[in-house]
Amino acid sequence: MSNSNRTAKRKTGRTTSAQGRRRKPRPEPVPPEIRTIRGLESQLATARQQLRIERQKRSQAESELHLAEQSLETFQQTQGSIRPRRTGRRRSVRRGSATAILCCNDWHVEGCIKPAAVDGANRFDLDIASQRIRRTWQKALYLLEFSRNISDIRELVVWLGGDLINGTIHEELEESNFLGPAEAVMFVQDHVSGGLDLLLREAGVDRLTVVTSYGNHGRSTRRRRISTGYRHSWEWLAFQNLSRHYRSASKVTFQVTEGYHNWLDIQGCDVRFHHGDAVRYAGGVGGITIPLRKKIAQWNKRRPARFDVLGHFHQFIDAWDYIVCGCLCGYDAYALEIGAEYQPPTQTFAVIDRAYGKVLTVPIFVEEST
Q: Quick one: average pLDDT of 186-211?
A: 98
| Per-residue pLDDT at 52 | 78
Q: Quick one: average pLDDT of 121-146?
A: 97
Show Cβ contacts of residue 344 under 8 Å, excluding neighbours closer than 6 positions.
Answer: 330, 331, 365, 367
Question: Among the listed ranges 109-118, 169-178, 193-202, 203-212, which one has the minimum average pLDDT value?
Answer: 169-178
| Per-residue pLDDT at 282 | 72
| Per-residue pLDDT at 87 | 38
pLDDT band at 70 (very low <50, low <70, confident <90, very high): low
| Per-residue pLDDT at 83 | 41
Per the CB < 8 A criterion, the answer to whether 274 and 262 are in contact is yes
pLDDT band at 48 (very low <50, low <70, confident <90, very high): confident
Pairing relation of β-strands 252-255 and 262-266?
Answer: unpaired
Tell me which DSSP letter residue 231 carries: G
Share of the chain above pLDDT 70, in %: 82
Span 234-277, pLDDT tens digits:
999 999 999 999 999 999 999 999 999 999 999 999 999 999 99
Question: Among the listed ranges 54-63, 79-88, 152-161, 291-300, which one has the minimum average pLDDT value?
Answer: 79-88
| Per-residue pLDDT at 21 | 55
DSSP string across 7-37: HHHHHHHHHHHHHHHHTSPPPPPPPHHHHHH
Please report, for residues 7, 107, 159, 215, 312, the alpha-carbon distance to residue 255 in angstroms, rounded to integers and kept in the order given: 116, 20, 10, 16, 20
Residue 90 has pLDDT above 80, yes or no: no
> Average model confidence (pLDDT) for the chain?
86
